[in-house]
Structure 1
Amino acid sequence: MLYENKFDIVSIFTPIQTHFDIIKEYIQCGVKAIFCEKTISYSLQEANDIALLCSKYSIVFAVNYIFRWDNLIQEIKMLLDSNEIGKIYSLTGYGATALHTSTSHLIDLIVYFFNSKVKYVLGDIQTDFARNVYGVDEYGGIGIVKFHSGIISFIKGTSVSPMSYMLEIDILGENGRIKLYNNGMSYDLYKYSNKINSSGSSYKALQLIYSKNNTDPNERMIDAILDIINCIENGGIPVSNIYTSIESIKIIEGIRSSHFNQILEYN
């Protein structure tokens, strides 16, 4: 079917370990765009090879980190980019188990919000539970990530069941705080104020400015496809792409390597 038809966009929603070979075959068929399930690979080397192939053959490559097309998440991203809480100091993320599946959305959001490449990772793999995904045991983990921008992130991606789902992020900046909770459906914005403070009149404390629930969610998958089509017609790369996905794999690989007493530092 691949060679008998001329496809513009193809999707890959198969087990992670099959992605690399399928991607190479799609590229040979001359497709314009690939929409791939996350994560793109268990291997950082394979992910880098995919990036080289996409660049060589001008392939639009999108990855299904669906939260990047979420209207509430994009609103938080705009707050951060507009310096609403000032310089970002740290981010703490709470997720479930399996770094390549459940926790991968959390890891990608950290990469998305920071817009910086990973420098190094310290961490440990969960040893009391593994989620079996299409015959592969996937482990959770806990990690500390240093980005080239100087921001530090703490990631908790552990649980004893994939059904114990959690996605929360706490971002601290010089002028305030943003808390994403309710599995990505709500957030609070805080800013420092001296209006109400039990510590004394010369001190400022974080005050809640507003809370927002996503009562009008957008059609994220439709927006993802429209993003891909726009990139085909006008150039550019999707908001979730091969390059941002590589940063997520660096974090996962870094946590695993640190577990075995090997600290990886990335350029």
Structure 2
Amino acid sequence: MKKNRYTGIVIGCGAIGARWDTWEGRTAPRSHAGALARGKRTELVALVDSDRTRLKEAGIMFPRTRLYLSAEEAIKKEKPDIVVIATPPKTHISLIQLAVRSGVKMIICEKPLAPSAREATSLRKVFARPHSPVFVLNYQRRFWPLFKRVRADIANKNIGRIQQVACYYSNGLYNNAGHTIDAILFLLNERITKVSGVENTFNPAHPDGDINIDGILETKSGIRIALQSFDQRAYAIHHMQFFGTKGAIKLLDHGFSAEWSTIKGDAVIPVFTVRHRAHNKVSFMQGALNEAIRCYEKKTRPVSGLTNGMEVIAVLDALRRSAAKLGKEMLVRYS
């Protein structure tokens, strides 16, 4: 049976949209444009950016695509099956609404969903309409086999009851800690209910309008999570450690590697000993595209979309409110 091919456009030709395609340090495809251009079932037909210089540079990288300064014009003329939104968070809502009104089949959006939970709430009505498109939010670790394996190990209590979780991020609460929060929600399979946080004033490295916050989070079942920010100017980091009563799991190297440890019980003082290591060689971008096509064809809900996107922002907003109150404990407001 012959499978359909889908056309796609990328709105936003920055690093994630297009420029990272030349970064040899990552597994290809390295950008959303690269994923569409090299996909066996997809065709990159257009690139969009309001910055002429950035658009021209992206056009050189992908010479067979048409270039547009206007997203509305590109969607109207190209009538794509897939729209990828790789623009700053403040533009996401309006671009999602535009794509939905235009009748596209699939939307892939970069994180975070919106600048705040209040703004993200408006999307519920947008996607409640009949025949609304598949919507995939690129919290890509949900698509990775290594994370699915760790989730199963935690659920099956292979490391016992979770006692503590420690997480480390860099380059902004909304920009990158959102990945950490989403991974926690996915791996523990439960909501975070309350948080307390303080601004890390020694760490100014973050995108404009963002903030770095160190905090303590607590899940519905009482698991406590330590969240700490690092200075991106020194190095980037995305590490997570889950400590159970029978062992531990570490997710390292931005989630590409994992390490399982068990407790060496014959010692005078029980200590951890590494039992197994694994490496996940995957693309940051391919998973979202594969998920969008899978959900469209099988008419299923994506593992990362509107629901978890709104949950992540609710936690981030609570941390920001707590930091504004000098660490006062805040309940997470889920809408």
Same topology, TM > 0.5: yes
Cα pair 2:89 2:111 within 8 Å, conserved: yes
For 1:165, the aligned partner's letter is: A
Aligned equivalents of 1:130, 1:231: Cα separation in 2: 40
Secondary structure of 1:217's partner?
A: coil
Partner of 1:35: 108
**Identity level (%):** 25
Please give the secondary structure, in 2, of the residue aligned with 1:179: strand
Q: Is the 8 A contact 1:40 1:47 kept in 2?
A: yes
Does residue 81 of the first structure (1) align with residue 146 of the second (2)?
Answer: no
RMSD: 2.2
Structure 1 residues 162 and 113: alpha-carbon distance in aligned structure 2, compared to 1, 3 A threshold? farther
Structure 2 Cα separation of the partners of residues 184 and 35 of structure 1: 21
Partners of 1:87 and 1:54 in 2: CA distance: 38
Equivalent positions of 1:105-184 (< 5 A) are 105-131=179-205, 133=207, 136-159=208-231, 161-162=232-233, 164-184=235-255
Report what 1:60 is aligned to. 134
How far 1:129 sits from its partner (Å)?
4.0
**Does structure 1 residue 234 correspond to structure 2 residue 298?**
yes
> Displacement, 1:22?
0.8
How far is the alpha carbon of 1:123 from its aligned partner? 0.5
Aligned partner of 2:144: which letter?
A: D
Q: CA deviation at 1:222?
A: 2.6
Give, in angstroms, the shift of residue 209 of structure 1: 4.8
Q: Specify the structure having the higher radius of gyration (Cα).
A: 2
Query: Any stretches of 5+ residues in structure 1 without a counterpart?
Result: 200-204
Correspondent of 1:45 among 109, 113, 118: 118
Q: Distance in 1 between matches of 2:135 and 2:300?
A: 10
Is the 1:120–1:266 contact (alpha carbons within 8 Å) kept by the matching residues of 2?
Answer: no
Aligned partners of 1:257 and 1:88: how far apart in 2?
27
Question: Deviation digits for residues 44-94 of structure 1, max 9, x if unmatched?
Answer: 012222234223343321111222222322222222233211332321101
Q: Within 5 Å, give how 1:187-202 maps onto structure 2.
A: 187-194=258-265, 196-199=266-269
Q: 2:172 aligns with which of 60, 79, 98?
A: 98
Q: Deviation per CA, 1:173-196, whole angstroms, max 9, x where unpaired?
A: 2322111223323222122342x3
Number of aligned positions between the proteins: 257
SS in 1 for 2:249: strand
1:37 and 1:63 in contact (8 A); partners too: yes
Deviations 1:6-29 (A, max 9, x none): 433211000111111111111111
1:211 aligns with 2:276: yes
**Unaligned residue ranges in structure 2 (runs of 5+):** 1-73
Query: How far apart are the structure 1 equivalents of 2:203 and 2:128?
Result: 38
Match of 2:38 in 1: none
Q: Secondary structure at the match of 2:319?
A: helix
Q: Give the distance between the partners of 1:55 and 1:116, measured in 2 at CA.
A: 24
CA distance in structure 1 between the aligned counterparts of 2:83 and 2:321, rounded to whole angstroms: 33
Higher strand fraction (1 or 2): 1
Task: Sort the Cα spacing of 1:236 and 1:157 in 2 relative to 1 into closer, same or farther, 3 A.
Answer: farther
Letter in 2 for 1:253: D
Larger RCO, structure (CA 8 Å, separation 6 or more): 1
Write the distance in 2 (CA, Å) between the matches of 1:81 and 1:7. Answer: 40
The amino acid that maps onto 1:78 is A
